[in-house]
């Protein structure tokens, strides 16, 4: 039994053939070219799908359906992507148009939800009843699993945790609000805080030596400099983890998941990130006196979570 999943992004389209043990046995990737017409985006996706099938030595008849994880508000009942700003989608009939091209049933889901489902089925969230996956990237992605199923909400946009306000009137967010968690705890937020602190410090400091210039600052800069004893870098990291913890605690207070996993490039900091984060949560979450606590851990599937989750949407 084989499954096929697609992780549609604003930069790349990644497709994978997944076996019965939930391992990816063949892949294909293409650059995403947007904005474009609905037919053109479906042509791009279908081409990637057929590349993956060919790389697996299979035919399209080997698959019962094809699962797609896409950014945006995704109505699984109608198969329509109602809105995805970075892909320039508005009421795109993705399921219908793609089904016509690949001659197979198509299931679509929000990409963060698909990634959470991948971790739930094959990754670190396996065995949980209720779970939450947080991805720290350019923004903050999140997917909610309740009683073993993806929770999408009334308008199919549940789980936009990055746009809860943690600092009223604070930093400007790309969504138009001020003080969103995403503006502080995403990789973009960390990079901005690192640059702001570097602008106040001597150019012989470790952060400057690590990055070389403000243009080269990334999510690792402050952590790397902190490990070399840079006090300003430690200030950045401590502040970042504080903001990350603020949002994580809110998520736990609202949902009380069995497990919460954190993915994205920053999660590769491992215990340098997770240990102090757990300390904040242990002190400040509302149910801190309960015997059973939410397990906080690093996501295990990396960039494969979206492909695997999309592939298993029909299971």
Is the pLDDT confidence value at 307 over 90? Answer: yes
| Cα 154 from Cα 162, distance rounded (Å) | 18
Please state, in angstroms and rounded to a whole number, the distance separating the CA atoms of residues 315 and 313.
Answer: 6
Protein fold of 127-298: Nucleotidyltransferase; domain 5 (3.30.420)
Sheet architecture: strand order including 89-92: 73-75, 80-84, 89-92
pLDDT in tens, 77-113: 999 999 888 789 999 999 999 999 999 999 999 999 9
CATH topology of domain 3-120+304-311: Nucleotidyltransferase; domain 5 (3.30.420)
What are the backbone dihedrals phi and psi of residue 283, each rounded to the nearest 5 degrees, phi first?
-80, -35
What predicted TM-score, i.e. pTM, was given to this entire model? 0.92
Counting other chains too, the contacts that 126-129 makes at CB distance below 8 Å and 24 or more residues apart are: 128/257, 128/258, 128/259, 129/258
Is there a shared CATH topology between the 3-120+304-311 domain and the 127-298 domain? yes
Q: Could you tell me where the beta strands, DSSP code E, fall in 176-292?
A: 259-263
Q: How many whole angstroms separate alpha carbon 53 and alpha carbon 16?
A: 8
Tens-digit pLDDT profile for residues 264-276: 999 999 999 999 9
Output the pLDDT for position 204.
Answer: 87
Q: Which residue from 189, 226, 188, 187 is spatially nearest to 210, judged by alpha carbons?
A: 226
Indicate the pairing of strand 65-70 with strand 105-110: parallel
Instruction: Please state the rounded mean pLDDT for residues 36-40.
Output: 95
Domains of the chain, residue spans: 3-120+304-311, 127-298
């Amino acid at each position: 039994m084989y499954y096929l999943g697609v992780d549609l992004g604003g930069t790349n389209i990644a497709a994978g053939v997944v076996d019965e043990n939930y391992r990816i046995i063949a892949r294909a990737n293409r650059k995403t070219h947007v904005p474009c017409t609905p037919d053109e985006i479906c042509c791009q996706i279908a081409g990637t799908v057929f590349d993956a099938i060919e790389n697996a030595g299979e035919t399209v008849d080997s698959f019962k359906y094809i699962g797609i994880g896409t950014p945006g508000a995704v109505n699984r009942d109608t198969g329509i992507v109602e809105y995805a700003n970075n892909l320039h989608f508005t009421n795109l009939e993705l399921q219908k148009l793609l089904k016509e091209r690949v001659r197979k049933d198509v299931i679509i889901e929000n990409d963060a939800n698909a990634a959470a489902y991948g971790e739930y089925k094959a990754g670190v969230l396996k065995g949980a009843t209720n779970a939450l996956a947080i991805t720290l990237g350019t923004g903050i992605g999140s997917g909610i699993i309740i009683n073993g199923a993806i929770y999408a909400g009334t308008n199919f946009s549940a789980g936009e945790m990055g746009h809860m306000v943690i600092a009223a009137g604070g930093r400007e967010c790309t969504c138009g609000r001020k003080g969103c968690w995403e503006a502080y705890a995403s990789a973009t937020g960390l990079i901005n805080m690192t640059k702001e602190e570097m602008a106040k410090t001597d150019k012989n400091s470790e952060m400057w030596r690590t990055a070389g210039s403000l243009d080269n600052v990334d999510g690792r800069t402050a952590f790397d400099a902190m490990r070399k004893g840079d006090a300003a870098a430690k200030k950045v990291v401590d502040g970042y983890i504080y903001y990350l913890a603020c949002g994580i605690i809110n998520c736990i207070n609202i949902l009380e998941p069995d497990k919460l996993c954190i993915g994205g490039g920053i999660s590769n900091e491992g215990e340098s990130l997770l240990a102090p984060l757990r300390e904040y949560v242990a002190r400040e979450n509302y149910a801190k006196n309960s015997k059973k606590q939410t397990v906080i851990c690093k996501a295990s599937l990396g960039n494969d979570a979206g492909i695997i989750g999309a592939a298993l949407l029909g299971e």
